[in-house]
Amino acid sequence: MLALVTLSVLFLFVASVGVLLQVVLDRLDPRRLTEPQKTPFLGGGEPATHAWSRYHVRYYSMTLLFIAFEMEMMFMYPWAVVYVAEGMKALVEMGMFLAILSVGIVYGWREGIFRWQ
Interface residues toward other proteins, by CB under 8 A: 30-31, 34-37, 39, 41-56, 58
Question: Closest separation between CB of residue 29 and other proteins, Å?
Answer: 11
Q: For other proteins, which is the closer residue by CB, 46 or 96? A: 46
Question: Closest separation between CB of residue 48 and other proteins, Å?
Answer: 4
Cα distances (Å, whole numbers) of residue 86 to 71, 83, 89, 101: 21, 5, 6, 22
Q: Is 48 exposed, middle or buried (0-12, 13-18, 19+ CB in 10 A)?
A: exposed
Question: Closest separation between CB of residue 23 and other proteins, Å?
Answer: 16
